């Protein structure tokens, strides 16, 4: 799957871009499944908003329960002053997470494609297991900014061994909120750690290192066509900007770790009943 040169690129840069790896039919299958979930969504019963502007202070029981469920989270700008949606639900959802691969057949089949397990093994995994999945909408006009972060902040393992697989379901470009990364930034310290006190069911984002986030000059925009897979290290700083355009930027993300690695009891994401999902 990955040549020696691409493996070396990943180790040097902290990410690798694999253009048009996934077939259009597979992309269409999970897009259709996601829209079907949204069509069953009741915005009056489920009102949780996903935003990164509050240093994750707004995480609630709905968010924690999504580790073993399929829940919809609204865009911050999806509701008006009266609390009602200002757009149809299909244009109001920020993301769906986080056990799509366990509970929705189309997503389970998508994640079982041999290419994903093969590329992780090429990167040195012996037995990769999938911990979480997200369908991200990045809606037209209101698709929110995701601030600079590192995935190891939220998915704490020992040793650190989480790898992200980001799949472009639509063309991603600067106008509609593509990914930005810091090449080589995976060698910088982990800046923050999000830990949950389960006795109080509250999470706190702690600063663990004061290293500044990348400047614009250090960042690279990943403008990629649909079907592209971006593989990234769990210490790689990355972000996406607000979508000010008239087109969405649908993406699907998977996060895998080595089977048997230590998984922090203070991680927000716990899977006590679902077990391992091997790739």
pTM for the model stands at: 0.95
Provide the 3-class DSSP secondary structure of residue 247: coil
pLDDT tens readout for residues 51-96: 665 676 668 888 999 999 999 999 988 888 887 888 999 999 999 9
Peptide bond into 159 cis (omega under 30): yes
Average pLDDT, the chain: 94
Q: How far apart are CA 89 and CA 113, in angstroms?
A: 30
Point out the least confidently predicted range of 18-22, 41-45, 172-176, 202-206: 41-45
| DSSP 8-class letter at 30 | H
pLDDT for 54 equals 63
**Spatial strand order in the sheet of 70-74:** 15-18, 229-233, 163-168, 251-258, 128-136, 93-98, 70-74
Say whether pLDDT at 108 is over 90: yes
Whether 51 contacts 36, CB under 8 Å: no
pLDDT band at 37 (very low <50, low <70, confident <90, very high): very high
Inter-residue contact 255 to 131 (CB < 8 Å)? yes
Domains recognised in the chain with CATH numbers: 4-262 (2.60.120.620)
Percent of the chain with pLDDT strictly greater than 90: 87
Assess whether the previous peptide bond of 220 is cis (omega < 30° from 0). Answer: no
For tokens 């969504």, the residue is 41
pLDDT of residue 76: 87
Where does the chain have alpha helices with state H?
A: 4-13, 24-39, 61-65, 100-103, 105-111, 114-122
pLDDT tens for 188-234 read 999 999 999 999 999 999 999 999 999 999 999 999 999 999 999 99
Question: What is the predicted pLDDT for the residue at 49?
Answer: 75
Q: Which of 213, 250, 249, 253 is nearest to 230 (CA)?
A: 253
Rounded to the nearest angstrom, the gap between the alpha carbon of residue 65 and the centroid of all alpha carbons in its chain is 17
Q: What is the pLDDT of residue 57?
A: 65
* Residue 264, C-beta contacts closer than 8 angstroms, at least 6 positions apart: 156, 157, 158, 195
- Residue 9 Cα to chain centre, angstroms: 22
Tokens representing 156 are 């704490």
Q: By three-state DSSP, how is residue 116 classified?
A: helix
Mean pLDDT of 232-244: 97
Does 47 score more than 90 pLDDT? no
The pairing of strands 238-240 and 179-181 is: antiparallel
| Contacts (Cβ under 8 Å, ≥6 apart) of 137 | 75, 93, 94, 95, 143, 248, 249, 250
What is the per-residue pLDDT for 113?
98
| Least reliable range by pLDDT among 40-49, 112-121, 226-235, 270-279 | 40-49
More confident of the two residues 82 and 21: 21
Distances (CA, A) of 198 to 132, 203, 204, 268: 19, 8, 11, 9
* Helices then strands, each counted (H, E), the chain: 6, 15
- Asked if 261 and 158 count as a contact pair (C-beta separation under 8 A), the reply is yes
pLDDT digit string (tens) for 126-161?
Answer: 999 999 999 999 999 999 999 999 999 999 999 999
pLDDT of residue 155: 98
| pLDDT surpassing 70 at residue 3 | yes
User: Could you tell me the pLDDT band of residue 259, with boundaries at 50, 70 and 90?
Assistant: very high
């Amino acid at each position: 799957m990955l040549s020696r040169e691409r493996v070396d690129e990943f180790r040097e840069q902290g990410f690798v871009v694999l253009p048009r790896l996934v077939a259009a039919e597979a992309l269409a299958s999970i897009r259709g499944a996601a829209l079907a979930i949204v069509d069953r969504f009741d915005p009056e019963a489920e009102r949780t908003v996903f935003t990164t502007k509050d240093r994750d202070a707004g995480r609630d029981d709905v968010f924690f329960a999504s580790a073993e469920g399929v829940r919809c989270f609204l865009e911050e700008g999806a509701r008006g002053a009266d609390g009602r949606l200002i757009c149809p639900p299909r244009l109001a959802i920020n993301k769906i997470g986080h056990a799509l691969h366990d509970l929705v057949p189309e997503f389970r089949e998508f994640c079982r494609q041999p290419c994903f397990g093969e590329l992780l093994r090429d990167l040195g995994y012996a037995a990769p297991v999938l911990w979480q999945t997200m369908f991200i909408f990045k809606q037209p006009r209101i698709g929110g900014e995701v601030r600079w972060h590192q995935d190891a902040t939220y998915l704490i393992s020992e040793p650190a061994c989480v790898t992200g697989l980001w799949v472009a379901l639509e063309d991603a470009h600067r106008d509609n909120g593509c990914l930005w990364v810091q090449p080589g930034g995976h060698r910088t310290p982990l800046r923050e750690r999000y830990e949950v006190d389960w006795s109080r069911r509250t999470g706190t984002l702690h600063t663990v290192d004061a290293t500044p986030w990348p400047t614009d000059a250090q960042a690279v925009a990943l403008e990629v066509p649909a079907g592209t897979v971006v593989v990234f290290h769990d210490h790689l700083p990355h972000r996406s900007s607000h979508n000010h355009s008239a087109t969405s930027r649908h993406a699907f993300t998977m996060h895998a770790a080595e089977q048997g690695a230590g998984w922090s009891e203070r991680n927000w994401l716990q899977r006590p009943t679902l077990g391992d999902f091997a790739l």
